[in-house]
Structures are given as structure tokens and as C-alpha cells.
Chains A and B, each alone.
Chain A
Amino acid sequence: MDGAALPALLPRRFADWFDARGWSPRSHQLAMLEKAKSGRDALLIAPTGGGKTLAGFLPSLAELTERPARNAPPGLHTLYISPLKALATDVARNLTAPVTEMGLPITIEARTGDMSVAKRQRQRLYPPDILLTTPEQLALFCAWEGSRAYFADLSQVIIDEIHAIHSSKRGDLLSLGLARLQEFAPNLRRTGLSATVNDPDMLRRWLSPGPGMVDLVVGEPGAPAVIDVLLSDNRVPWAGHTAQHAMAEVYEVIKGAQTALVFVNTRFQAEFAFQELWRLNDDNLPIALHHGSLAPEQRRKVEAAMARGDLRAVVCTSTLDLGIDWGAVDLVIQLAAPKGSSRLVQRVGRANHRLDEPSRALLVPANRFEMLECRAAADAVAENALDGDPARVGALDVLAQHIMACACGEPFDEDSLYTEICDAGPYKDLSREDFNTVLEFVSTGGYALKTYDHFRRIVKGRDQVGQKGRWRVRNPQTALRHRLNSGAIVGPEMLSVRIGRRGVAGRKIGEMEEWYFEGLTSGDTFLFAGQIWRFEGITGLDVLVTRSNDPDPKIPSWGGSKFPLSTYLAKRVRQMVGDEPGWRRLPDDVREWLEAQKQHSSIPNADGLLIETFPHQKRHFLYCYPFEGRLAHTTLAMLLTRRLDRLGVGPVGYLANDYAVSVWSLESMADVDFDALFQEDMLGDDLEAWLEESYLMKRSFRQCAQISGLIERRFPGQEKSGRQVTFSSDLIFDVLRRHQPDHLLLQCARADASLTLLDLPRLGEFLARIRGRIRVTKLDKLSPFAVPMLMEIGKEPVYGGRAGEMVLEAASLEALIQEAMA
């Protein structure tokens, strides 16, 4: 862009404002103004600290400054949507500063579910110029009567952090909301903001799937990050996930930094690392803890202390991956491997939120495989090679919710709605047949047995000459109930952890998944929120705990937040393992380990698969090293176990981690035909049979049933407890599976489970890749590569399809023993 174009794009007041601060607008900020001037949709990709948010808003601010006076009160001009509630509020505050300083006549307000009803109602009557909100609020807007008029003047919609939301059901719902907004305001401009990603075109298609793809604006890259991998004096341990061996060094590094963010991958690791650091904290450094289970007030407190610069370190999970800027952070520490290069870039970017200074980060591998992974990740970031979530096909349960919302908002014509929905990225290839199925589901439940025809939730009016009948919601109560239950965030059921006993609940410390407490009995102690608690019991939705001094508490092992190793990083790790000359860059003990593996067994090559069989402690073991991530490995292990069972080798257990799979059995597996065993046809009948009895299907079904509106979480005036929902959705699942196995929601549940819980696409690609490239090594003892996982056996629970039955059998056995001993 030449300087002459500048005055035309940037209003006088804006240029003065930049000048007064000694700043000049960045080229991507001007580019965004230019795109808006020519009425183009645009996706801006820029690293953190590049003035990205301001770039997104500049066109709106300019337009609003220059808008001519009108008689009618102006409607909403710009809608900003962020996946984080806190970000919406934060951006509102940050945007108000320049607007006030420039003296612009622009009103800016945030809107979240936390706000008072009165304030939200006032916003409906008197819209601000710029409204900042969340995808869930947009879904509610769609279900309002009168939203067409409310959004009639809308000129620009800004979607922030697209990279973090596009590949999820929330992203599906958001894209449908965007299509709806476009229908209300045909001249609406779509603007997307994203961190650096591997495939910008995918995000462009997500933002608007039409033939004229949205324009791409790329910000200047920041200074390259400085990333080190910690070489601990204590050497790299064989196994483990906590990096306990390196805590003293981590503590020293924190001491040397101004403020450090210590990222971990799970809440388990967060609790553990926090405990360990405080054990070492002789200097009493202010070190805090931040993860998704802590009470929101507690998290806000930590964030505020961080913003004031009162803290020296925060141990945190992905809850701090996104968003709010903290100037003082000068070091990011990643404890245990980062699992993906994009996630690492995002986290490293949290240090020195300024473009011209390099971010500083330290990776701390917890075991030898992780040492390889950390190296691969550091290399990937240095080369700016990123991974990312793949594009997804829009989920039909989300579509059902959206169709219901549309009917609650205003009557619709099904042909026009179908066309509109195909304008949402994830639904661009939706067939009319699928649309009709979902429409029928929304109306009558979509059952083969047509007994509910007089209980329709939405009804179609009569066809008139020249106009087809329109669909509308049955009655206002049905619409009210929909609004109470909308949204695509369905987490596991959470219980509040409160101090108290004998049924009297006191202060809330945080929230944890219900299932964690399934295995606890009164008197057990556990570590949570950095303290030790004694489990007293559960009343309603509260877990009651008292303080404890037990020196050996359990640490909850949360399953939900274990990211699998990304496909891209996995490939780099495989290449690194296969690249012998490169081993010299690794620490001595890791190199020796690789050399021993080469000598005693063999080194897997980058495209093939290494399988080892060996006897160990009266069991026969099969080990293989696909490096395809935990989810795909668990699925593979389940399916291998089924097949080996059929072959008569008597498999008795399996274990899967990010790098390897192991199965152990009563009989030797040395003579198994491994090419046949790893045939892709395992994804056929074996998978079907397993999925039928898997608890994963029930879990997915529960989520689909809630999102689609089959099961309501909330009724007017009462909140249904999670337990009731869980229980009845399992009953419904059993009945539906028996009586209508091809029902839409069962199809949704299957699709979800395949994608998000089983990682089938990745497993399929893996099986295709290794065909004809399997190398089997028959050993007479365990190999160096097998050691890490062998050390995990017994620490990790092994789940099977009949796990519930096994618990009952164990309990009745105990009853027999009691009887015998009485």
C-alpha cells in the first residue's frame, strides 16, 4: 500500500490518534480498511500482538464515524463474536479506550449469559453500535421474535479466534447463525480473525463457502520465537507424564524470569506441578494455579492478580491458551510435550505479547519419547510449520437445534431455509434429503412409528396459491423451552466441590466431573485446587469435602483434556526416530536408548510399522509403534484385542499411549499373521460390533440428544440435575437402538464417536499407510522401546465393554466372602 492511499482509507481523527502516539497503522490494518471499502469479506491471519483486534474493528469505527445523521435511531452496526466470554468483555474494554480518546460518537457493549436480564432487555430495545458477544448468544438471537428487524442495519460481523472454534459443534452452530444474519442483512460483511494456521483456505471456506471466497489478509510475522528444550541434570526418565525429575530446574528458571506461564496438558498435571513447585518454593514466590475446574471467582482472582503484575508464575491448562493480554509475561514453560505445533505457537505467543520482541519458551519433556516430541515441536515452530484441526462436516444434531431456533424466531419457508443453510461453511454440501430428515425430526421426532403426528413441535401451514405453507413453532411454551436449552456446549455432568459435611454444603471450591467420584468412597483423600481434601459424600449436585493432612492423597486423573499427538507432529517424530545421523542432537541417554533399540530390536522407519513380540513375566506381549496419538491407538488396541481373541491367543489386557500400543495374552502371538491382523477390514464388522456395546456410544448419544432438543436440560423454573439427564438418556438410547437402529440421533452419535472419541479417520489413514510395510521382530525379551509403556501397566485402568458387569461381579464376590467369614 502506498502512502497516498492512506488519507482516503483512514479518517483524519484516526490518523491524528496514531500520530499522537508515535504509531503508524500496520499494513494489515490498512488492508482491512480497504477490503471493507470495496465491500469484501475478509479473513485476517496474524500472530498475537499484531494489533489484530483493532484491525478487525477499524472499518466499523471508520464507517460509524463518517455515517450521516438520520432521523430514525440507528440499529446495530457491528456484531463481534468470540468463543470466550471473558474475551468479549475484555475486547469491549480495550476498544472503548481508543474510541474515547478519539472522541468518537460510538457506543460499545458486551452481552453474555452472565449479564442481568434487565440489561439484556434494554440492549434489545436500544441496541449499541457495536455489540460483543458469544456464539451461544447468537444462537439465542436466532430464536428471538423480531431479530430480523434488530439486525436489519447490521453492516459487519467479526468472528474472533476462528482457528479455535471452526472445528467443533460450536463452530457449526456459529456458522448457521452467520448464514441467518446474512439473510437478515444481505449486505452484511463477514470478517474473520485468526492466529496463524496451516491451511488458511479452509478457514476462508468456513467463513463463507460461496464461489467468491473471502479475501485473505496476512499480517507481518513477529520476531521468531526462542524455544529451548530442557536438558535436565537428572537425565530424561524412561516413563511418566509429570516431569517431576525437572521441577527443581523449572523452579530456578521461574526465579530468573519476571513472570512465567507454566502450561501443562491436563488438570492432573496442573495440580501435581503446583504442589511440587510450592514444595520447592523457599522464596515464597507468588505462584498461582488456573484450570477449568476451579470456581470461576477463583480463576477471575488469579487473572486479576496476573493483570496487576502481582504473580511470578501461573500453572495453567488450555484455559489460558486464548485471549487476554498480559504484558508482563516474559517466559512460557511447557511441562510435558505440547502435542501439536499450533498449540505450542499459541502458547509461546503468550510471552511478550509484542511483535518486535521474540517470545521465549522452555519445553520440559517428561520422558524419552517426549524428548523426541519436544525436539520435533521446537523444530516445527522454528520452520513455522503448523498443524491444525481439519475441516468438518456440519453435525445434524446442531442443525436440528438451529431449525428449531429459526421456527421460534419467525415462520420459515423450507426451500429458502435450505438454501440459507447451504451458505454455512460446514453445511455447504448438505443434501436436501438430509435436510428433510432433520426437519421431520424437529417436527415429530422422526420415528418410524407415527404416533406423535399430533404432538408436533413445529407445524407447517397450508400451501397457498403461489406460496408454500410456512413452518412455525407450535406454541409459545415450546419456544420458551427451546431458548432455555439452546447452545452446543454439552460437557460431562459436573458436580460442585464444596466444603461441608453431614449434608450441609458450604463454600464452593470448584467443579469436577461426576464420574470421578464414582470410584471414591467416604474417607478417601484427593488433591484439588492445590489442597488436600477428604471426600465426605455427595448430596444432590454437591460433593462435600473437608480439609485433610493426608500425606498421600490421590490426584484426580481427568480424562477429558488429554490432547492426542497431532498428525503432523507424529510424522516429524517418526522421521526423527528413523533419522540416525540426527540422533547426535539428542541428549546422551536418549541417544543410547535409540542405539540400544537398534541393537536389540530394530528402528521403525517413517512410513512403516514396527511390531515386536516377546514373552515377559508369564505373559506374551505384542508391541507396535504407530505414533498416531492416544485416541486412534485406543481404538486400534480394542480392535486388535477382539481379533486376537478370535485367533485363540487369549488376550487379557491392552494399553495405548500417544506413541505405542501393547496387547498381552496368555498364548504366544509370534505366529500370528500380522499383515492379516492389521488389515483395514478391521474398521468394518469388528468396529461395528464393538461400538454397539461401547459406553462411548452412550456418551455421544447423550450429547446429541441434548443438542438436538430431544432431551431438555432445563425446564422453565427448574434445573434438571445432570444425573437425571444421564440416566434417562441411557434408557432412551437402549430403547431406540433396539427399535429404530437407523434413527437420525443414533447416526449422529455414531458419527461423533467415530470422529472425536475413536479418531477413525486417522486410524484408517494409518492402516492404509502401513499396508505391505509391516516389519515384525520376534524377540525373546522386552525391547528398549517397550520399557516405558511396560512401566505404565497397572497404573492405568483398562476398560472394556463389560466393565460395568465386572464391577457388579466383584461386588457380589465380596458379599460371598463376607458371608463365608461371618
Chain B
Amino acid sequence: MSAAQERSGSRSVSSIAASPCGSARGVIAGAEVLLRASGALWIEAARMLVVADLHFEKGSAFAERGQLLPPYDTGETLRRLEAEVAALAPRTVVFLGDSFHDRRAEGRLAQHDAIRLAELARGRELIWVVGNHDADGPRILPGEVAEDLMIEGLMLRHEPRPGAQPGEVAGHLHPSARVVARGRGVRRRCFITDGERLLLPAFGAYAGGLSVRDAAFAGLFIRTPTIVALGADRAHVVAWGSVAGE
């Protein structure tokens, strides 16, 4: 990236700023949103909570093949989701695709976890946007299944489309960043946006991350993007210049 681009990157920072609650406040294609330290997106105007790439039952998918990862990932992901729901009382919860690690995952869901999901659906709407891991959406769990969703001028879908897509909010890529400051580096999940398009970090307990410097992100942003890295209890707005290659 040229020095001129680096400088222009600092301008896009102004569309995202820290908010007192530990989240980052931003404007994406004209819509006001809150980027939560949990990795969830909050669209206040629609009272809508959006989470991406939960990968429910990833642990048991590995166990089936003989690698016995702790069977607590679904419970842990639900715990984080419940905390966000309790804090924000959303009218709608949108799952932005790859909510299940594979097509059989819903069948492996423990009964107590299915009950917790049903509980979440009480008094609110659940929308399951489908992803490549769960192309059909859930069969038994409550909620609607959708290919994509338009809200407040934002287009919510699982996989980002190539080229300029103003207002697109997507998951799929599991963005993560290596942030370097004061001679030390730390790797965290993150949001990434240029003010036009927003990609959400994976929300699932066992979901891995892909560096935002990876080629898969090239061409998705018309301006130098800004990232919002997930800290322990704060979302940190970080300029592109502080994001190192892997």
C-alpha cells in the first residue's frame, strides 16, 4: 500500500469511533450501527442483533472423526449470545450463516441446548440466514430461514459478493488481525469496514480466524479499511497501519 493510501485510511477512521459502553459506534452506508466487543452487531433502529458464523457443534463434528474436543462449544456460544440478548433485548436476532458446523449438526445438538435456543426465540424473531456450511438452515428449531435480508438500507448476507457492494453486511471470512503496537503484537478477531461494507468476526467458540491481510479480503473495500479488534471487554478501533501481515 502506498503512503497516500495509508493517509487516506486515517480518514475512514472517523466513520467508526469508540463509544462509552465499550462498543464501537459506526456508520455503514448511512446506517448507524454498534460494533459490540462480543463480535455481535447491533442495529438500534431495528432493535436487531446480528451474529455470524456460530458453527454450532463443531466440537462434536471433530469427535465423530475421533478427535475429542471438549463438548462445550455450543453451550459456550449460547452463553455469549444470551448475554448479548439480555443486555440489549433485541426484537430480532439474525444468524448470519454457518450457524451450524455441518448439515447434521442440528441433529447432534444436545436437548438442553435446543431448549436454550427455543427460549431465546420467545418474544422475538429469529432469522437464520443460510451459509455454505448450513445451506438448508435448521429444520426443527424455531425461526425463519432466509437467503439474505434487507434492513435500514443494509444488505445482510452470509458470503460477501465480489466488487463494490455498498451497504453489505456479511460474515463467512472470520476476519482476524495481528495488531502491532510498541514492538509487540497480538492476534484477535475483528470487524473490518471501509464505511461502505462491513464484515463481522466469527461468533462461535471454536471458530478460527483468517488474517485480514489475506488475499481473500483484497478487492472487497474501496477505501483503506479500519478494523475493530475484540478485546476482553472493549472493542478497539485500530487503523490499518497498525495491522501487520501474518
Residue positions of A touching B, CB distance < 8 A: 444-445, 447, 449, 451-452, 455, 457, 474, 477-478, 481, 518-519, 521-522, 537-538, 710-712, 723-724, 727-728, 731-732, 734-736, 738-740, 743, 797, 802-805, 807-812, 814-815, 818-819, 821-822
Q: Are B236 and A809 in contact (CB under 8 A)?
A: yes
Q: Are B181 and A445 in contact (CB under 8 A)?
A: no
Q: Are A735 and B18 in contact (CB under 8 A)?
A: no
Please list 28 pairs of residues, one from A and one from B, whose beta carbons are closer than 8 Å in the complex, sorted by A's number.
A445-B68, A445-B69, A447-B70, A451-B71, A518-B186, A519-B183, A522-B245, A710-B68, A731-B205, A734-B205, A735-B70, A735-B73, A736-B70, A738-B76, A743-B70, A805-B231, A807-B181, A808-B181, A808-B229, A808-B231, A808-B234, A810-B182, A811-B229, A811-B239, A814-B239, A819-B10, A819-B13, A822-B7
Q: Are A811 and B238 in contact (CB under 8 A)?
A: yes
Contacts of A819 in B (CB 8 A): 10, 13-14
B72 nearest CB neighbor, chain A only: A739
Contacts of B110 in A (CB 8 A): 449, 451
Given contacts A455-B64, A519-B185, A807-B182, contact A732 B70 (CB under 8 A): yes
Q: Taking the complex as formed, is B193 at the interface, i.e. its CB lies under 8 A from any CB of chain A?
A: no
Q: Could you tell me which residues of chain B, from 51 to 76, have a CB within 8 Å of some CB in chain A? A: 60, 63-64, 66-73, 75-76
Contacts of A712 in B (CB 8 A): 67
Interface of B, secondary structure class, is: mixed
Contacts of A519 in B (CB 8 A): 180, 183-185
Contacts of B66 in A (CB 8 A): 455, 457, 474, 477-478, 481
CB distance from A498 to the nearest CB of B (A): 15
CA gap between A712 and B226 in the complex, in Å: 35
Q: A451-B71, A723-B246, A739-B72 are in contact. List 20 more A-B contacts (CB 8 A).
A: A445-B70, A449-B71, A452-B68, A455-B60, A522-B245, A537-B245, A727-B187, A743-B70, A803-B186, A807-B185, A808-B234, A808-B236, A811-B180, A812-B18, A814-B239, A815-B242, A818-B10, A818-B239, A819-B10, A819-B13
Q: Are B60 and A521 in contact (CB under 8 A)?
A: no
Contacts of B242 in A (CB 8 A): 811, 814-815
Given contacts A478-B66, A735-B72, A808-B231, contact A818 B13 (CB under 8 A): yes
Q: Are A808 and B10 in contact (CB under 8 A)?
A: no
Q: Taking the complex as formed, is B237 at the interface, i.e. its CB lies under 8 A from any CB of chain A?
A: yes
Contacts of A815 in B (CB 8 A): 10, 13, 226, 237-239, 242
CB distance from B14 to the nearest CB of A (A): 6
Q: Could you tell me which residues of chain B, from 1 to 47, have a CB within 8 Å of some CB in chain A? A: 7, 10-11, 13-14, 18
Contacts of A728 in B (CB 8 A): 206, 208
CB distance from B4 to the nearest CB of A (A): 13
CA gap between A802 and B234 in the complex, in Å: 13
B213 nearest CB neighbor, chain A only: A537
B69 nearest CB neighbor, chain A only: A732
Q: Are A811 and B68 in contact (CB under 8 A)?
A: no
Q: Write the B197-225 contact mask toward A (1 if CB under 8 angstroms, else 0).
A: 00000000110110000000000000000
Q: Are A457 and B68 in contact (CB under 8 A)?
A: yes
Q: Are A732 and B206 in contact (CB under 8 A)?
A: yes
Q: Are A447 and B71 in contact (CB under 8 A)?
A: yes
A736 nearest CB neighbor, chain B only: B70
Q: Write the B76-99 contact mask toward A (1 if CB under 8 angstroms, else 0).
A: 100000000000000000000000
CB distance from B135 to the nearest CB of A (A): 25
How many of B's residues come within 8 Å of A, CB to CB? 49
Contacts of A735 in B (CB 8 A): 70, 72-73, 76, 205-206
Contacts of A724 in B (CB 8 A): 208
Q: Are B67 and A710 in contact (CB under 8 A)?
A: yes
A812 nearest CB neighbor, chain B only: B236
Q: Are A811 and B72 in contact (CB under 8 A)?
A: no
CA gap between A734 and B72 in the complex, in Å: 10
CA gap between A123 and B111 in the complex, in Å: 53
CB distance from B59 to the nearest CB of A (A): 8
Contact of B186 among A445, A477, A538, A808 (CB under 8 A): A808
Q: Are B68 and A518 in contact (CB under 8 A)?
A: no
Contacts of A474 in B (CB 8 A): 66
Q: Are A451 and B60 in contact (CB under 8 A)?
A: yes
Contacts of A809 in B (CB 8 A): 231, 236
Q: Are B72 and A449 in contact (CB under 8 A)?
A: yes
Q: Taking the complex as formed, is B241 at the interface, i.e. its CB lies under 8 A from any CB of chain A?
A: yes
Q: Taking the complex as formed, is B179 at the interface, i.e. its CB lies under 8 A from any CB of chain A?
A: yes
Contacts of A447 in B (CB 8 A): 68, 70-72
Contacts of A810 in B (CB 8 A): 181-182
CA gap between A732 and B206 in the complex, in Å: 7
Contacts of B64 in A (CB 8 A): 455
Q: Are A807 and B11 in contact (CB under 8 A)?
A: no
CB distance from A353 to the nearest CB of B (A): 44
CB distance from A446 to the nearest CB of B (A): 8
CA gap between A807 and B184 in the complex, in Å: 7
Contacts of A457 in B (CB 8 A): 66, 68
Q: Could you tell me which residues of chain B, from 141 to 200, have a CB within 8 Å of some CB in chain A? A: 178-188
